[in-house]
Structure 1
Amino acid sequence: MADQGTETAARMLADPPQGQYADADGVRYHYLDLGAGDPTVFLHGGGPGCTAWTDFGPVAPLFARDRRCYLVDILQYGRSEKCVISGPMWDFHAAKTVALLNTLGVARADFVCNSWGGTIALALAAHYPERVRSLVVTGSMPVFHGPLAPLPEGGRRGRAARDAYFGGEGPTPAKMRELMAQLEWYDPAAIPEHTVALRYQQSVDAEEMALAGASDSPRGEWQELSAELGRIQAPVLFAWGMYDAFLTPDYPLMLARMVPRGQLYVMDRAGHHVQEERPHDYYQLVSGFLRQNHD
């Protein structure tokens, strides 16, 4: 059962706010700019059709009450540029995200991230520590091993799901709902139809379909961050769903020990997209962490 307010948040998803574009070191980003206060960058996950709004729309208005929220479509997703990435993938994304901060005039920010976006932010925090005040990571896989057992499907569950979604007869709304139900949400009955529709519509964008057809080759070299985690100076909250289908809670506990200032919170009745399933609880947890670590 989803927490109170989820239905209202789902209705809001049907009418995304107007976005903006910014050039950053040769690439173009699309982002939403909401609220006022401490700059906070939201980076979304890497599932088919994911954007900053689909992943963080339910919680963005809550954070925007007292924060300047930059909801960024990461490169190759949403309305951001579908550029081909060469070299180590997380290093590439981290450098371009810093270039985006430069364009926006943001010297230092908090980062709130899901899955793919969280790994980008961890790489950024390791390589550009002066740009990160604090970091919240949910459902990300920066290292390729678990503390007790191999990762599900060798850490390739997400790529296998993407291949299945775009394969066969191609994307359909039913396949999108099935993907979200199996891998992203704890309670499939609570998945908003608005989110399914937005994700499906974005997934059939011509450029996104072309990237999917090319498998991983345009995404850069797959990169492991074990060595980088120990260099992160900022406090990091790993906010995890108890029933994350990709990485069970023993994995973020390992990450919290690898990061010098790491801590872990595991939320019940939640899967891979905690911020969508439990938006108010997620907001309370994350906003408290960000206030605690404000310097």
Structure 2
Amino acid sequence: MVNSNSEVGRTVQAGGIGTNLHDVGSGEPVLLIHGSGPGVTAWANWRTVIPELSKSRRVIAPDMVGFGFTERPAGISYGLETWVDHLTGILDAMDLDRVDLVGNSFGGALSLAFAIKFPQRVRRLVLMGSAGVSFRLTEGLDAVWGYEASVPNMRKVMDYFAYDQDLISDELAELRYNASIRPGFQEAFASMFPEPRQRWVDALASHDPDIRAIRHETLLLHGRDDRVVPLETSLRLNQLIEPSQLHVFGKCGHWVQIEQSRGFIRLVEDFLSNAD
């Protein structure tokens, strides 16, 4: 039976974990790594981006373990090492020696850590609203990671994500709430970032000397008005990564790929199309 849910792609065994992913288009491979919001899936995070990037490239967007429709193995311990291992398993399962990585927020921290550990497997990096360096836990991120399932709480979380509050409706909040209470979703999410949550910001951070050693061309993108991951993180990454450039979007929150979709896609396409 064909699953009519657009958030479900196909399943590959990645490091022994049944992994839901979208694999669209052809050409040079780019891997999109989602953020860590409640009920998040790769498709929900990248739905505006996948159709455009896949016109000229092979776009792969997985649900990382613990999120979406990927298997949640019993007894798994969530953390940066686990997610890096899972990402390695995804590349291995798909016979990908080297990819471009695009990471959003949590996905940026994961992409950064992967590039540090396996520099030969990454061509270029795009980090959007990225964690990966230490910063003081924001009210917005505390609300996101501390989400307890209800429609009002989902509305509160989504209000933090967007600069343009017209993007957020009660209907959208209810839709995302329903996504967050699918079987296993909230249970796994609640186990990832318990209080005190500052420690999880720090746990996702790579060490400054390791970041300074990065030699990959890197594009940093951030919303000036981000209330979840502050702009200072991308400013810091821009200082640490010598071959990096930073683009800041005004009137934009944590949802750069949604609030500034056309600009985001244009910048990423231009950046990735450049030769080594």
What TM-score comes out, normalization by structure 2 length? 0.87
Pair 1:189-2:166 in alignment: yes
Q: Give the letter aligned to residue 224 of structure 1.
A: A
Query: Which of the numbers 25, 29, 34 marks the counterpart of 2:19?
Result: 29
Q: Give the letter aligned to residue 120 of structure 1.
A: L
Query: Which of the numbers 210, 215, 220 marks the counterpart of 2:187?
Result: 210
Task: Tell me what 2:72 maps to.
Answer: 82
Pair 1:171-2:150 in alignment: yes
Structure 1 residue 179: Cα displacement: 1.1
Q: Is the 8 A contact 2:39 2:186 kept in 1?
A: no
Q: Give the letter aligned to residue 203 of structure 1.
A: S
Q: Is the 8 A contact 1:242 1:267 kept in 2?
A: yes
Q: Is the 8 A contact 1:240 1:252 kept in 2?
A: yes
Query: Which of the numbers 145, 159, 162 marks the counterpart of 1:162?
Result: 145
Deviations 1:3-33 (A, max 9, x none): xxxxxxxxxxx97265001111122211011
Kindly report the root-mean-square deviation, in angstroms, between the aligned alpha carbons of the 2 structures: 2.5
Q: Is the 8 A contact 1:35 1:69 kept in 2?
A: yes
SS at match of 2:158: helix
Task: Tell me what 2:211 maps to.
Answer: 229
Q: Is the 8 A contact 1:242 1:270 kept in 2?
A: yes
1:191–1:34: structure 2 CA closer, same or farther, 3 Å change rule? farther
Distance (Å, rounded) in 1 between the aligned partners of 2:121 and 2:171: 35
Mark the runs of 5 or more structure 1 residues left unpaired by the alignment.
1-13, 146-150
SS at match of 2:184: helix
1:247–1:212: structure 2 CA closer, same or farther, 3 Å change rule? closer
Distance (Å, rounded) in 2 between the aligned partners of 1:251 and 1:116: 12
Distance (Å, rounded) in 2 between the aligned partners of 1:239 and 1:21: 30
Q: Is the 8 A contact 2:18 2:71 kept in 1?
A: yes
Distance (Å, rounded) in 1 between the aligned partners of 2:269 and 2:49: 11
Distance (Å, rounded) in 2 between the aligned partners of 1:223 and 1:265: 23
Distance (Å, rounded) in 2 between the aligned partners of 1:290 and 1:198: 33
Q: Give the letter aligned to residue 268 of structure 2.
A: V
Distance (Å, rounded) in 1 between the aligned partners of 2:67 and 2:86: 14
Structure 1 residue 78: Cα displacement: 0.5
SS at match of 1:266: strand
What TM-score comes out, normalization by structure 1 length? 0.82
Task: Tell me what 1:238 maps to.
Answer: 220
Task: Tell me what 1:11 maps to.
Answer: none
Pair 1:141-2:131 in alignment: yes
Query: Which of the numbers 54, 64, 81 marks the counterpart of 2:44?
Result: 54
Distance (Å, rounded) in 2 between the aligned partners of 1:208 and 1:18: 14
Q: Which moved more, 1:40-49 or 1:197-206?
A: 197-206
Q: Is the 8 A contact 1:54 1:199 kept in 2?
A: no
Distance (Å, rounded) in 1 between the aligned partners of 2:49 and 2:169: 14
Structure 1 residue 192: Cα displacement: 6.7
Pair 1:91-2:76 in alignment: no
Q: Is the 8 A contact 1:126 1:233 kept in 2?
A: no
SS at match of 1:214: helix
Q: Is the 8 A contact 1:82 1:208 kept in 2?
A: no
Q: Is the 8 A contact 1:32 1:72 kept in 2?
A: yes
Task: Tell me what 2:91 maps to.
Answer: 101
Deviations 1:201-257 (A, max 9, x none): 22102312222443537xx97343124312322111110011110233333111111
1:15–1:29: structure 2 CA closer, same or farther, 3 Å change rule? closer
1:113–1:198: structure 2 CA closer, same or farther, 3 Å change rule? farther
Pair 1:117-2:107 in alignment: yes
Distance (Å, rounded) in 1 between the aligned partners of 2:64 and 2:19: 7
Q: Which moved more, 1:118-127 or 1:15-24?
A: 15-24
Pair 1:288-2:270 in alignment: yes
For CA contacts below 8 A with separation 6 or more, give which structure has more relative contact order.
Answer: 1
Structure 1 residue 152: Cα displacement: 4.3
Query: Which of the numbers 242, 252, 259 marks the counterpart of 1:260?
Result: 242
